[in-house]
Structure 1
Amino acid sequence: MSRAWIFPILIAGIIAIGVAVMGATITDIGPWYHGLAQPRWAPADAVYGLAWTAVYGFAALAGVTAWLAMPRSKDREWLLGLFALNGFLNILWSLLFFRFHRPDWAEIEVMGLWLSVAALVITIWRRSMTGALLLLPYLLWVMYTGYFNMIIVRLNGPFS
């Protein structure tokens, strides 16, 4: 393995694991969540862990691929900033939905999360088509999550 890969792999791994751990700590798929009216097509509990693990893995690979394709340190800093914003929005959605029990607020916030993933795809696409394609499962999962969130609000609202 080239030495050029070591730093971005470490950074991407630390960021992905950090966001995953914080999100998992906040997420409580327990009595409150199971008490919500849900559509028939609601995912099984185990699907969440598998989906987020895959999403974080692909996002980390996309980050490494993009980092190596960025010619200037300023471009890499911008990339890290976008990933940091995305990680914050990802954790915020879990906090609003699962910890504060406010799917109505999470429904609004998930739009910002989706836009942050889209911004990453567009930014990375300019330097690495492979990196951008690795983020498409994340974009699709956030779209699905947003739609599921909207249905939860429609079936169970209002929340207070």
Structure 2
Amino acid sequence: MEFIKVDGRINKKRLALSILVPVVGGSITGWLANRNAQDKYKKLKQPSFAPPAAVFPIVWTSLYTIMGIAKYRADEKISHTKEEAQVIPLYELQLGLNFLWSFLFFRWDLRGTALIEMSAMLALIALTAYEFQKVDNTAGALMVPYIGWVTFALGLNYAVWKLNK
């Protein structure tokens, strides 16, 4: 739990908020955009590397928690500085794109658009990780699993789009 401490202390309220926003936001998005998604997902032609649908909520809840901790650490390091103007809006923008993707892919069946949107999202995630790393090495490192998963998801999105044109 040491990685949660910033300068030897924990701001429990800010930490909770930083984790709850992506976790609850992701859950609400999942509920709104992905209703009947498991059925839709099963009906789609899948590439050989596609994980079972049950894997996604587990992975996303874990990633949302980790990225919330990263945001908390960066936020604690930059509070009341000019750096906040650059770092936090990037995080919020990539999170908004993250939530939008489910609607594009599942709700509106715009898989090609979702692919383009995810490419932009991945670039913003990488930029956010870079900016986080500049203010806190741990915050930047915590974004790496998220980058890895979204890179995998981008390949999966592409394969599903190609197989189901």
1:49-60 superposed matches below 5 A: 49-60=57-68
State the partner residue of 2:99. 91
1:4-153 superposed matches below 5 A: 5-25=11-31, 26-28=33-35, 29-70=37-78, 72-153=80-161
Distance 1:27 1:53, change over 3 A: same
| Deviation, structure 1 residue 6 | 2.7
| Deviation, structure 1 residue 77 | 4.3
Whole-Å separation in 2 of the counterparts to 1:40 and 1:4: 44
Whole-Å separation in 2 of the counterparts to 1:102 and 1:71: 39
Q: Percent identity?
A: 25
CA contact (8 A) 1:19 1:87 kept: no
Whole-Å separation in 2 of the counterparts to 1:32 and 1:45: 10
How many aligned positions are there?
157
Unaligned 5+ segments in structure 1 are: none
CA deviation vs aligned residue, 1:27-67 (integer Å, no higher than 9, x gap): 24233221111012211111101110111011011011111
CA contact (8 A) 1:23 1:90 kept: no
TM-score normalized with structure 2 length: 0.86
CA contact (8 A) 1:125 1:132 kept: yes
Whole-Å separation in 2 of the counterparts to 1:135 and 1:98: 25
TM-score normalized with structure 1 length: 0.88
CA contact (8 A) 1:22 1:91 kept: no
